[in-house]
Amino acid sequence: MRYYLNPRASREPYSADERRVLSLEKSRAALKEFEQWPGYGPAPLRDLPELAGRFGIASLAYKDESTRFGLGSFKALGGAYAAGRALSRASIGDGATPTLACATDGNHGRAVAFAARRLGCRCVVFMHEHAPKAKADAIRALGAQVIVTPGNYDDSVSLASRLARANGWIAVMDTSDDEFDATVIDVMNGYAATALEICDQSPAGPPTHVFVPAGVGGLAAAVAATFAQVFERERPILIVVEPEAAACVLECAMNGSPVNIGGDLNTTMQMLSCGRASNVAWKILSRRADAFLAVEDRFAAAAREELARQRIDAGVSGAASLAGLMAIVNEPTPRDALALDRRSRVLVFGTEGADPR
């Protein structure tokens, strides 16, 4: 386990520059649209008192994204929403059928394929060779074409972007080097809907600590931005959790700017296997995340087992936030550094259910 306290973390007023990326106005507009979609309902916020007692904290809440629109993860909030927005901005010839394109480890592609079916579009999804086959099958079941690509997730992003430009497809990516990329901003404002739901689901006030996972960082940034705006100086302490083998956001924090990390990025938390953080997300996380935590796969396996005992069926990646909490509860130094004690009200994000079978 590695952790890094962010020396740049701020509780200063939310800036106009940050608002260009994530704003309550944009996030509330996304939530309002979701409320019109068939099958929408707030993802449950589950109380886990037995685990809270064992971990020596006042309470533990688990935001369960496993049933979101029947797609199994929070990604539906981003990819499906951004796809519609991107389609509305595109110039499509009369009679032509637009094609949506994206790269994915699995969940984002499923969300974009879901959007394509809703919107009457074609869909091409690029998945790297190490991505789970079950995820690819779930995407194909929605009518999308899956193209398996060599290398890792970052390689599939590069190829999908290049071929989308060459073929006139509408790219719906969840990461970008452009810190004001319109589609990535839409993805993240869609994600922010889950944080807005939590504000309504927690009448007693905000949690003191939030553990949220990061692949490229989009969800973590959306949560950080929403709580920074809603709760201002009273916002929770926000801890970003990643696999040790793919801790690109932690490396950004230590470097002070986005970096590419090497290695095979091989982790059982496959939906978090990314080697470069999104510049769009980093614009928020650089100021609104308080700590970055990289955990070994064994913590995710243990977290998944704990959730199963609580009758929650989570994927390994979906258990990453709880894995982060479990990694530090018995470590006095990081626990003290994060002021995690018996008064703490902790929120963890359960980002996905079990893998498709």
Active site amino acids: 75, 105
Task: Let me know the angle formed at the C-alpha of 177 by 160 and 1, rounded to the nearest 5 degrees.
Answer: 95
User: What is the CB neighbour count within 10 angstroms for residue 125?
Assistant: 30
Angle formed by the axes of helices 320-328 and 297-309, nearest 10°: 100
SS3 of residue 284 by DSSP: helix
Interatomic CA distance for residues 116 and 289, integer angstroms: 33
Interatomic CA distance for residues 90 and 112, integer angstroms: 16
Strand pairing partners for 349? 63
Token pair of 319, please? 């258990």
Asked if residue 271 lies in contact with residue 105, where contact means CB atoms within 8 angstroms, the answer is yes
Could you list the beta-strand ranges (E) of the chain.
2-5, 45-47, 59-64, 99-104, 122-128, 145-149, 170-171, 209-213, 237-243, 291-295, 345-350
Q: Which single residue is written with the structure tokens 């009758």?
A: 311
Amino acid present at 62: Y
Could you list the beta-strand ranges (E) of 208-309.
209-213, 237-243, 291-295
